[in-house]
Amino acid sequence: MIPRFALARPVTLDDAFAAFAVADGDAAYLAGGTELLQVMKMGLAGFGTLVDLKRIEELKGIGIEDGNVRIGAATTHREIERSDLIGRAVPALVALEGNVANVRVRNQGTIGGNLAFAEPHSDPATFLLACDATVELAAPSGRRTLAVGDFAVGPLATSREPDEIITSIRIPRRRQGEGRGYAKIAFFERPAASVAARVRVEANRIAEATVAVGSLVETPTLVPDAARALVGVPAEEGDGDVDRAVATATDAFSTLDAFPDLNGSVDYKLHLAGLLLRRAVRSAIREATADA
């Protein structure tokens, strides 16, 4: 049973900051609540006041700004999944969001709340890390922007200050010859292992690559050695060079401080990650070469 709490429902960021301040440290911001209300129900956290952010217009919407895709922090997974704009600009994100948890979670949970909770098995965080996305935050003292890789600092821990609110996530718009892919294996509605890849193809070869893994270590993590193994490889569907490069890239996963969990042992999860890397890279290559 969830302990009793007061609920503030501001319509502006300033009102939200004021409601948070009045609670004098005994408050939390509420977005979708799919994670927060669960931990409160289990008695793992408690707050006298929840500040509901869903009525704040600035935190909503999907659009293009300064060449980036902007997603308001209060946008639900379901809204992203159904967005035509995201489908054109970042199709891999639409596919990812369509497989987050279950329909109830996707209808209620928000992209900002997902990142703020910093759950090690987050789908969006791993993909956004590979995309070089940024998180915009606001507080009474001002605003700042952080790379997704600098936002999560540990399991269930971020660099967000207690009174800061995530306002939006920005994803660089896809360049010519660039593709992104994401693959996961999930047993309990959360990924057992996940891999995101971004490649840029030039003259039919991978000229640039980024690889990120999730659910293996305490936070989504870039694996530069895996990315380097892909550079220079011919970007042709069915080419054995891609599979050989992926096998070499997979070796880099063994250097990660991976953890076992209910999904399996470290060796098993690393094996899954190798299979997923192949899928993610091939998806990214298909998107990158669709421009040709």
Question: Mean pLDDT in each 10-residue stretch from start to end of the chain (292 residues)?
Answer: 91 98 95 88 90 97 94 97 96 95 91 94 95 98 97 95 97 94 90 96 96 95 97 83 91 94 93 96 95 66
pLDDT in tens, 234-284: 998 666 888 899 999 999 999 999 999 989 999 999 999 999 999 999 999
Same domain, 202 and 247: yes
> What total of structural domains would you count in the chain?
3
Residue range(s) defining the domain that contains residue 46: 6-52
| Assigned domain for 12 exists | yes
Residue 218 CA, chain-centre distance (Å), reads 14
| Assigned domain for 1 exists | no
Contact 30, 109 (CB under 8 A): no
Same domain, 105 and 121: yes
Residues in Cβ contact with 201 at an 8 Å cutoff, skipping those fewer than 6 apart: 177, 178, 179, 207, 235, 285, 288, 289
| Assigned domain for 254 exists | yes
Same domain, 77 and 151: yes
Same domain, 109 and 164: yes
Strands (E), the chain: 6-8, 27-30, 49-52, 62-65, 68-72, 134-139, 142-147, 152-154, 157-158, 165-172, 178-186, 191-202, 205-214, 221-222
Query: pTM of the entire structure?
Result: 0.95
Residue in 90, 124, 91, 120 with CA at minimum distance from that of residue 105: 124
Residue in 122, 285, 136 with CA at minimum distance from that of residue 190: 122
Could you tell me the CATH number of the domain that includes residue 10? 3.30.43.10
Domain final residue pick, 172, 199, 228: 172
| Assigned domain for 182 exists | yes
| Assigned domain for 128 exists | yes
Same domain, 141 and 186: no
Domain final residue pick, 128, 149, 172: 172
Task: Name residue 9's amino acid.
Answer: R
pLDDT in tens, 188-198: 788 999 999 99
Contact 47, 24 (CB under 8 A): no
| Assigned domain for 20 exists | yes
Strands (E), 215-291: 221-222
Task: State residue 240's pLDDT score.
Answer: 83
| Assigned domain for 151 exists | yes
